[in-house]
């Protein structure tokens, strides 16, 4: 039995422009690596092709796979990468129909069994957490899928149906560490978002699953509500292994809510400090879940940057979509993070339902008023699994083109606005935020705070300048 996992590249860029995103950011496909590790632990041979690290056209990739075909191929797809994953699956089925094709990830979980009706080259979808489902499928020789919970397969009439609900993994510490050994280019080829780390080699990690909040734009169809997590002991062991075996010196925790369980984080900080582990880190938090004491602990244990989703500076828009605890308190909290000695990044969105030009301008002014080192501004995208999706067409015009749904294209235009207007406001946001002396000074400091980022930036300067010239920032 041999299983191959493919992480399709997807359209992660702006239509019609050269994709230079991997200069800025290339993270290992933890999803596939987590499933691969459990399979390998159970004696199944696995391989991973990360199309981000080794970009190949679907045709070339398929030729390569067909020359030495595995028994099954698992694809991990978001909404924007689904069609590329499917293109590979279809070409493979044409050449080697005996290979079993399985798709998991956010898009499969969101759309569910009906996806099988429209995409015949997929044999199964894995709905929900994939580790045990994939292991059981492999053990069953990828047959009798209808008896394995968490699989969508075709019934006698050829219609997509779900076998049964897969129970969530009760203790995440039971899972082995991701299969880093299956990524031939790890850690050399991988790098966190430029300027978001002090040292290299670096990587990302996920130490919890689930989120109890219900922000309107957020697709949580994989892990649903609730919050499960790795113990501090497990995380510290994981970090130790990364540092010892791969020389990793900085990690970005991509957990949705790293600090949600305060006692876990406090214990993690203590333990990490006690062990004298020389690995710094970043995390993502909600402002409700940080306080002065915790921030001091984070800093002491090596935290370098904290990212916060702020999304909008308009109280009405925020009330509808994120239910924040008060815009007036945000600045004070962010200042606390800065004063504790960490960098702060704010995440914003433009083009939410109910927004107009005035609301977006309020957001821009608000972002500029905050003590932020950096921002990430995305273009609101209504994913099928997000609460807002059901009624989205009541609030404006929606072009449901999956390949464009990567948060870098305005596929939704709020009622009363135009795409040109949205693009103009987006560019204005970036321009006004970054073209300020305080931000320039922040980047100058990167010369000694993150020399690796500066070197990478300089090495790719011609491509970056060519891209910049095409933007209206
Ligand atoms: C880290 C992350 C990223 C990283 C990815 C790095 C990498 N190389 O993997 C970066 C920053 C690059 C990124 C980019 C994007 N992301 Co993102 N990302 C995440 C995040 C926070 C964690 C993903 C992760 O690793 N989870 C841990 C693993 C274990 O969970 P999982 O991916 O769901 O996989 C489980 C199951 O789905 C299943 N499974 C998954 N794949 C497969 C495959 C097989 C064969 C099987 C059997 C099972 C299976 O088993 C897994 C383990 O149980 C999630 C939110 C979240 N909390 O999950 C968003 C999330 C996946 N991202 C999202 C989005 C929208 C994007 C972007 C479009 C946005 C953007 N411009 O940044 C791009 C799209 C990239 C692309 N082309 O696909 C959405 C996807 C929504 C959707 N329906 O498409 C999510 C769900 C966030 C959200 N709540 O809205 N992202
Ligand atoms: S945006 Fe963050 S806080 Fe809101 S539901 Fe999603 S993961 Fe939870």
Q: Where are the domains of the chain?
A: 2-162, 192-470
Cα separation, 143 vs 340, whole angstroms: 55
Taking only the tens place, the pLDDT of each residue in 354-387 is 999 999 999 999 999 999 999 999 999 999 999 9
The residue whose CA is least distant from atom 7 of ligand 2 is 256
Mean pLDDT (whole number) for 65-83: 97
Residues with CB under 6 A from ligand 2: 211, 213-215, 218, 220, 256, 286, 309
Closest ligand, as measured to the CA of 379: 1
Is 414 close to ligand 1, i.e. is its CB under 6 Å away? no
Is 112 close to ligand 1, i.e. is its CB under 6 Å away? no
Neighbouring residues of 362: CB distance < 8 A, sequence distance ≥ 6? 312, 313, 314
Mean pLDDT (whole number) for 236-256: 98
**2-162, superfamily in CATH?**
Cobalamin-binding domain (3.40.50.280)
Which atom of ligand 1 has the smallest separation from the CA of 74?
A: 45
CATH topology match: 2-162 vs 192-470 = no
Mean pLDDT (whole number) for 421-433: 97
**192-470, superfamily in CATH?**
Aldolase class I (3.20.20.70)
* DSSP SS3 for 101: strand
Residue 3 exposure: Cα atoms within 13 Å on the Cβ side: 27
Centroid of ligand 2 to alpha carbon of 366 (angstroms): 21
Taking only the tens place, the pLDDT of each residue in 126-135 is 999 999 999 9
Taking only the tens place, the pLDDT of each residue in 90-130 is 999 999 999 999 999 999 999 999 999 999 999 999 999 99
Q: Ligand 1: which of 37, 71, 78 to mutate, most ligand atoms within 8 Å of CB? A: 78
DSSP code at position 405: -
* DSSP H or E stretch at residue 349: strand 343-350
Is 12 close to ligand 1, i.e. is its CB under 6 Å away? yes
- In the chain, what percentage of residues exceed pLDDT 90? 89
Q: Whose CA is closest to 136, among 31, 44, 10, 252?
A: 44
Centroid of ligand 1 to alpha carbon of 34 (angstroms): 13
Q: Ligand 1: which of 152, 222, 376, 408 to mutate, most ligand atoms within 8 Å of CB? A: 222
Cα separation, 128 vs 151, whole angstroms: 9
Residue 14 is predicted with a pLDDT of 57
Cα separation, 260 vs 208, whole angstroms: 10
Is the pTM for the entire model greater than 0.85? yes
Centroid of ligand 1 to alpha carbon of 337 (angstroms): 27
Taking only the tens place, the pLDDT of each residue in 305-342 is 999 999 999 999 999 998 777 898 999 999 999 999 99
CB 269 within 8 Å of CB 290: no
Centroid of ligand 1 to alpha carbon of 157 (angstroms): 32
Length of the chain as a residue count: 473
Question: Is residue 18's pLDDT more than 80?
Answer: no
The residue whose CA is least distant from atom 6 of ligand 2 is 218
CB 138 within 8 Å of CB 5: no
Is 127 close to ligand 1, i.e. is its CB under 6 Å away? no
3-state helix, strand, coil in the chain (%, to 5): 45, 15, 40
């Amino acid at each position: 039995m041999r299983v191959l996992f493919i992480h399709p590249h997807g359209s992660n860029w702006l239509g019609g422009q050269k994709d230079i995103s991997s200069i800025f950011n290339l993270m290992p496909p933890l999803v596939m690596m987590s499933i691969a590790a459990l399979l390998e632990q159970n004696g199944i041979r696995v391989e991973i092709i990360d199309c981000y690290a080794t970009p190949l056209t679907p045709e070339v990739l398929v030729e390569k796979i067909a020359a030495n075909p595995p028994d099954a191929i698992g694809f991990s797809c978001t909404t924007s990468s689904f069609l590329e994953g499917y293109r590979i699956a279809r070409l493979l089925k044409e050449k080697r129909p005996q290979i079993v094709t399985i798709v998991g990830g956010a898009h499969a979980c969101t759309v569910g069994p009906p996806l099988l009706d429209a995409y015949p080259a997929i044999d199964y979808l894995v709905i929900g957490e994939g580790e045990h489902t994939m292991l059981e499928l492999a053990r069953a020789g990828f047959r009798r899928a209808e008896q394995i919970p968490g699989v969508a397969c075709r019934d006698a009439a050829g219609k997509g149906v779900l076998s049964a609900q897969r129970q969530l993994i009760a203790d995440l510490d039971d899972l082995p560490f991701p299969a880093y050994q299956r990524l031939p280019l790890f850690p050399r080829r991988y790098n966190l978002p430029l300027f978001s780390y002090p040292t290299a080699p670096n990587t990302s990690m996920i130490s919890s699953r689930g989120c109890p909040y219900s922000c309107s734009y957020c697709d949580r169809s994989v892990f649903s509500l609730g919050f499960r997590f790795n113990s501090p002991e497990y995380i510290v062991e994981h970090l130790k292994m990364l540092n010892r075996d791969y020389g990793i010196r900085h990690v970005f925790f991509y957990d949705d809510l790293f600090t949600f369980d305060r006692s876990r984080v406090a214990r993690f900080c203590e333990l990490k400090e006690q062990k004298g582990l020389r690995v710094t880190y970043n995390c993502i938090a909600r402002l409700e879940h940080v306080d002065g004491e915790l921030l001091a602990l984070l800093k002491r244990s090596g935290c370098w940057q904290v990212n916060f989703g702020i999304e909008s500076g308009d109280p009405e828009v925020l009330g509808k979509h994120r239910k924040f605890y008060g815009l007036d308190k945000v600045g004070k909290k962010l200042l606390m993070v800065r004063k504790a000695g960490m960098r702060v990044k704010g995440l914003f969105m433009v083009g939410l339902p109910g927004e107009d030009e005035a609301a977006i301008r309020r957001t821009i002014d608000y972002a500029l008023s905050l003590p932020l080192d950096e921002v990430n501004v995305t273009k609101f995208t209504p994913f099928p699994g997000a609460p807002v999706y059901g009624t989205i067409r009541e609030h404006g015009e929606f072009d449901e083109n999956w390949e464009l749904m990567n948060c870098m294209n305005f596929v939704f235009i709020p009622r009363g606005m135009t795409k040109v207007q949205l693009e103009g406001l987006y560019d204005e946001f970036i321009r006004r935020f970054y073209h300020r002396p305080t931000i320039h000074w922040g980047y100058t400091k990167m010369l000694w705070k993150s020399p690796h980022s500066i070197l990478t930036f300089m090495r790719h300067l011609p491509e970056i300048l060519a891209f910049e010239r095409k933007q209206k920032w």
